[in-house]
């Protein structure tokens, strides 16, 4: 299957996105900010649809909107919690704007499917390398904030007492999450970003409580989900997103069963 250029592009793009998704998702789950990936993906839908209407790549519209929303969430910090109604209304508005933008575009239905559900097999060589570049930027930025991020996550009161810049760390991390969401949407679509970014990390944390091995395992699982999903899509001609979701959920269910068996002494 690697004889075909579109398959090679799919594996390059999928691998780049999976590595970032697994790494960023691990900290996302650890910080109990799972809602952020879901919220940012909905906001990104409006950005992608608006970009298509203007005749530019959906990736850059996604990136612009998710990045702006991620920085805003980071600035709000703790005040964002408990505002489910307000957040829900904003997300609904974003979806509504996205639908309007697609309606105004004559290619709306086709583009809507690609944005909502992803199409990694349709990623061009230029887009694949753009995703690789964004992945490198995200990983470098994550490495830069990883130590204060862990400190703020595992011991927030102590970090605050030590004078750690918690607000800055939050803003930088959510900006990185926004980039990761924009990338992941290219593979599984804005509706299923949650699966690729959260499922591998959640599975990893069920299998180990150690930070280093857990992070490595989350990245490995994200890569495995993506590679197996792309390969099964090629063999069956079924949607890649479907297979990635199935494999991700299967790994999670197996880890849940294994943990339950271990806790009961079975």
Model pLDDT for residues 50-95, shown as the tens digit of each residue: 888 888 888 888 888 888 888 877 776 655 554 556 666 777 778 7
- Which range marks the domain in which residue 129 is found? 5-190
- Tracing tokens 């920085």 back to the chain, one arrives at 71
Q: How confident is the model at residue 14 (pLDDT cuts 50, 70, 90)?
A: very high
Question: CA-to-CA distance for 9 and 240, rounded, in angstroms?
Answer: 14
CATH at residue 84: 1.10.3470.10
Whether the per-residue pLDDT at 124 is higher than 80: the answer is: yes
Has residue 244 been placed in a domain? no
Predicted local distance difference test score (pLDDT) of residue 58: 80
Has residue 261 been placed in a domain? no
Has residue 141 been placed in a domain? yes
Predicted local distance difference test score (pLDDT) of residue 122: 85
Q: What is the pLDDT of residues 134-182, one digit of tens each?
A: 899 999 999 998 888 888 888 877 777 777 777 888 888 888 988 888 8
Question: CA-to-CA distance for 53 and 156, rounded, in angstroms?
Answer: 43
Helix axes 5-30, 166-188, angle to 10 degrees: 150
Has residue 249 been placed in a domain? no
String of DSSP letters for 46-76: HHHHHHHHTTS-HHHHHHHHHHHHHHHHHHH
Whether the per-residue pLDDT at 16 is higher than 80: the answer is: yes
Predicted local distance difference test score (pLDDT) of residue 72: 79
**What's the pTM value of the predicted model, to 2 decimals?**
0.85
Has residue 145 been placed in a domain? yes
Q: What is the pLDDT of residues 85-121, one digit of tens each?
A: 666 677 777 878 888 887 887 655 566 677 777 788 8
Predicted local distance difference test score (pLDDT) of residue 216: 95
Whether the per-residue pLDDT at 219 is higher than 90: the answer is: yes
**CB atoms < 10 A from the CB of 75, how many?**
14
For residues 10 and 116, is the Cβ–Cβ distance under 8 A?
A: no
Has residue 111 been placed in a domain? yes
Q: What percent of the chain has pLDDT over 90?
A: 30
Has residue 242 been placed in a domain? no
Whether the per-residue pLDDT at 248 is higher than 90: the answer is: yes
Domain count, the chain: 1
């Amino acid at each position: 299957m690697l004889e075909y250029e579109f398959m090679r592009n799919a594996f390059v793009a999928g691998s780049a996105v999976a590595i970032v998704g697994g790494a960023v998702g691990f900290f996302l789950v650890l910080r109990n900010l799972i809602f952020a990936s879901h919220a940012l993906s909905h906001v990104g839908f409006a950005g992608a649809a608006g970009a298509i209407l203007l005749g530019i790549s959906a990736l850059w519209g996604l990136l612009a909107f998710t990045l702006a929303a991620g920085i805003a969430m980071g600035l709000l910090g703790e005040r964002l919690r408990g505002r489910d109604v307000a957040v829900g209304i904003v997300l609904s508005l974003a979806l509504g704007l996205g639908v309007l933008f697609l309606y105004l575009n004559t290619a709306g239905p086709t583009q809507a499917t690609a944005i909502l559900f992803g199409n990694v097999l349709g990623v061009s060589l230029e887009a694949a390398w753009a995703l690789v570049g964004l992945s490198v930027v995200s990983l470098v930025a994550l490495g830069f904030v990883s130590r204060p991020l862990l400190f703020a996550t595992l011991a927030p009161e102590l970090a605050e007492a030590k004078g750690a810049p918690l607000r800055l760390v939050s803003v930088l991390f959510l900006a990185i999450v926004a980039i990761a969401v924009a990338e992941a949407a290219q593979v599984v679509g804005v509706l299923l970003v949650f699966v690729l970014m959260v499922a591998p990390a959640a599975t990893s944390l069920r299998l180990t409580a150690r930070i280093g091995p857990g992070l490595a395992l989350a990245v490995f699982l994200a890569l495995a989900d993506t590679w197996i999903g792309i390969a099964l899509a090629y063999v069956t001609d079924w949607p890649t997103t479907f297979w990635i979701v199935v494999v991700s959920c299967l790994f999670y269910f197996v880890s849940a069963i294994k943990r339950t068996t271990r806790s009961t002494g079975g």
